[in-house]
Amino acid sequence: MQKLQHLLNEVIKKTDALKTAQALYSRQLAPKFNTFDYINTNELGLSQILADLLNPKGRHGQEEEFLKLFIDHCLPNITENSKWLSFIEYLEQTKVVIEEITWASSTRRRMDIYLECEADSISYGICIENKPYASDQYEQLKDYAKELDKRKLDHWHLIYLNEHSDTPSKHSIENNELESLIEDDKFSALKFSGLIDWLQACQVECQNHSVTEFLAQLIKFIQKQFMGIEDMNMENAVLEVMLQNDESIEASIQIANNVDDMKSQLIQKLIQDVKAEFLKNYDKRSYQLDISNLGDGKNYEQVNLISPSFNNGYICFEFQSANFDRPCLGFKFNTRAEVNSFINAEKMKTVLENNLSNKKIWKSPLWPAGYYFSPQDWRSSSKAWLMIRDGEMASKIMEEMDAMFQIFNDNGCFND
């Protein structure tokens, strides 16, 4: 225990010193400035950025160099496959589009990023499914594979770009179908953190200073948004303490082994706090609390508000990723059939946009309206867990769920 406390004290001392130094030289360092704070970084915005970097005719002016490096660093199974040799030799002929409609299969979906090329009379296609935040849609990856197959391409490949899951869910594609794609070298899972090596290689080869700086800013964005690294200097300082001797390494591993247990205990506290918060105004509530699907750390665990007089859906606070991460809040249905049969489904998004102007409202097939709950990063940031410890998180969750219910109710969204 003494070793653990010593390590924690050393980390606190080191990080406090670094924070002081950053504060003193903030004007010169501008440690919190990032171009991507002023850029649209939703799913479509990120698709546009990645598509332009991959495009040999992109505005970066580096021709096919970035695409070549992407293949080398992110798709080794293509690099090593002789069937893709002509594609690699004629990368400059590749066309890159976003939101490509799945016309061949008549599924009317949109592929986030689609690369197509014909070289030596051989046709190639690569679909990148960009999933930075939202969960998989029903049979989405299955439909994309069907589309690529029906386009009669000689060779095609499907990429699942996501940070928090190694593979798409069974909701998107069945395990046996996914395994078949993997065996045929037609599928790759890629993480946003896995793009960093590619982007750093692009920096080395890039011949334009503005583009190089943009790549640096994109790397910082990925580290912060998907890896929880606010500042690489801070990460290096902590690592230096952890690696300084045998005792600090041993203590670091012991701490790491207990982090999940710590989070589980805090989630149990959150469950009790939410129940207590709900009971405060129980007599005034026209809905019930369901918190039975929270506690194991699985994908899509929820806290729900259910109205006995309205059984077409429910107000839902849901963790989009495993281990209690990336929560969202909105109105959710269980099936697409329920969405399609509900006359006010389309109205819900507009109602929230009009009443919650400070939120970025989105919708998906099962969610007619929702937004990403703040704090968003529960995986690597301490903010959410400190709020649970201090009893603040439960009241925030219930306050926002109550407000959403009231907004929908006042605007007649629950009227059939």
Residues of the chain where predicted confidence (pLDDT) is lower than 50: 4, 7-8, 11, 14, 18, 21-22, 24-25, 28-29
Buried b (16+ CB within 10 A) or exposed e, 371-400: bbbebbbbbeeeebbebbeeeebbeebbeb
How does pLDDT run across 60-95, given as a tens digit for each residue? 999 999 999 999 999 988 887 889 999 999 999 999
Query: What pLDDT does 209 receive?
Result: 92
CA angle, corner 224, sides to 221 and 227, nearest 5? 120
How does pLDDT run across 303-330, given as a tens digit for each residue? 999 987 777 789 999 998 788 988 999 9
Q: How many CA atoms lie within 13 A of 283 on its CB side?
A: 0
Query: What pLDDT does 365 receive?
Result: 78
Distance of CA 139 to the CA centre of its chain: 19
Averaged confidence pLDDT in the chain: 85
Beta carbons of 54 and 92 less than 8 angstroms apart:
no
Give the integer Cα–Cα distance in Å for 346 and 343.
8
Query: What pLDDT does 18 receive?
Result: 45
Query: What pLDDT does 7 receive?
Result: 43
Give the integer Cα–Cα distance in Å for 240 and 172.
42
Give the integer Cα–Cα distance in Å for 70 and 64.
10
Query: What pLDDT does 366 receive?
Result: 85
How does pLDDT run across 258-290, given as a tens digit for each residue? 778 889 999 999 999 999 999 987 877 888 999
Query: What pLDDT does 252 receive?
Result: 64
Would you call 113 helix, strand, or coil by DSSP? Answer: strand
Number of Cβ atoms within 10 Å of the Cβ of 269: 15
> How far, in Å, are 54, 62, 192, 242, 341 from residue 196 at the CA level?
14, 18, 7, 24, 44
Closest CA to 322 of 264, 395, 394, 393: 264
Query: What pLDDT does 397 receive?
Result: 96
Beta carbons of 85 and 117 less than 8 angstroms apart:
no
Query: What pLDDT does 21 receive?
Result: 47
